[in-house]
Amino acid sequence: MHRKMLLSMIATATFAAGPTLAQDLTGTLKKIKDTGTITLGHRESSVPFSYYDDKQQVVGYAMDLCARIVDGVKKDLKLANLETKLNPVTSATRIPLIANGTVDLECGSTTNNFERQKQVSFTITHFVTANRFVSKKSANLKTVDDLKGKTIVSTSGTTNIKQITEIGAQKGLNLNILAAKDHAEAFLMVETGRAAAFVMDDILLYSLVAGSKSPNDYTISADALSVEPYAIMLRRDDAPFKKVVDEAMIATYRSGAINPIYDKWFLQPIPPKGLNLNVPMSDAFKKVVASPTDSGDPAVY
């Protein structure tokens, strides 16, 4: 009799806990549950991560990963329907729009580092790149030292513009550094001769060169200025939401679903021009897939 009463009490307590747990949602999960919507921040020209195709649809590798995260959130919150809203962001606006609650996930090509972690949080790394520069072959710019006295461009609000500014000062290169609003504008400045080089993550440079009018006119530096782990951004100090997001990313890696997603964007023709970037998965990223990490420390990679 005593055991039956105990089991009955446990069952009653468990049943009663259900609605309470739903009411106890906080932060982003509560916002999503209450509104029935999740807002994704996307880029306009970060090929192949997040960009507009020829039909003005937002597509890309990071967008596909964010779609899997949205499915994970929908499942966790037991929502029959979850509306996905898209909000364009730039290098300069992406962090403020995450921090102020406008955007829930930033699906792009954003470097996870310790400085940014003071303002936002990051999920599991989804790509590992390096900071290099693109220039015209005719300019014969091989190393950072070759940039001395030149006009250089990078994208406003990126780690790249900060790094080249610091390196230029350390080496006394007397660089004239311009800030472009996005990657497309920065590359155009090299294309039209307004800048000698564009400093940016190498995967984005490869994409821009591949999509240019004369790909053979350009060269990307062998010199790497830094290692850059990319990750999807979310709000800081929101552990319940981050747990759901991280679990969706880890499941994507552990299940092997990451492989066809990666191949689709890096080893097959992509819109709008059907270009194949032909960038096999790096050893650094294979390591992340095997042992998922959200570290912002370049040494980890």
Q: Give the tens place of pLDDT for each residue, 180-233.
A: 999 999 999 999 999 999 999 999 999 999 999 999 999 999 888 999 999 999
Domain annotation covers residue 249:
yes
Residue where one domain finishes, among candidates 226, 244, 266: 226
Q: What's the chain's average pLDDT?
A: 92
> Nearest to residue 240, comparing CAs of 6, 30, 7, 5?
30
* Rounded-to-integer distance, Cα 178 and Cα 159, Å: 14
pLDDT of 1 over the 90 cut? no
Domain annotation covers residue 62:
yes
Neighbours of 154 (CB within 10 A): 27
- Chain segment 63-110, per-residue pLDDT in tens: 999 999 999 999 999 999 999 999 999 999 999 999 999 999 999 999
User: What six digits make up the tokens of 18?
Assistant: 């259900």
- Is the domain of 122 the same as that of 239? yes
- Chain segment 257-301, per-residue pLDDT in tens: 999 999 999 999 999 999 999 899 999 999 999 999 999 999 999
* Rounded-to-integer distance, Cα 207 and Cα 191, Å: 14
**Domain ranges, residue 192:** 130-226
Q: How many CA atoms lie within 13 A of 162 on its CB side?
A: 10
Q: What share of the chain is helix, strand, coil (3-state, %, to 5)?
A: 45, 20, 35
Banded model confidence at residue 14, pLDDT cuts 50, 70, 90: very low
- Is the domain of 81 the same as that of 46? yes
Q: Which residues contact 258 (CB under 8 A, 6 or more apart)?
A: 252, 289
- Is the domain of 57 the same as that of 93? yes
User: What six digits make up the tokens of 41?
Assistant: 């921040």
Domain annotation covers residue 15:
no
The pTM (predicted TM-score) of the whole model is 0.83
Q: Say how far residue 237 (Cα) sits from the centre of its chain.
A: 19
Question: Are 189 and 182 spatial neighbours (Cβ–Cβ below 8 Å)?
Answer: no
Is 224 or 134 the better-scoring residue by pLDDT? 134
Residue where one domain finishes, among candidates 198, 226, 254: 226
pLDDT of 137 over the 70 cut? yes
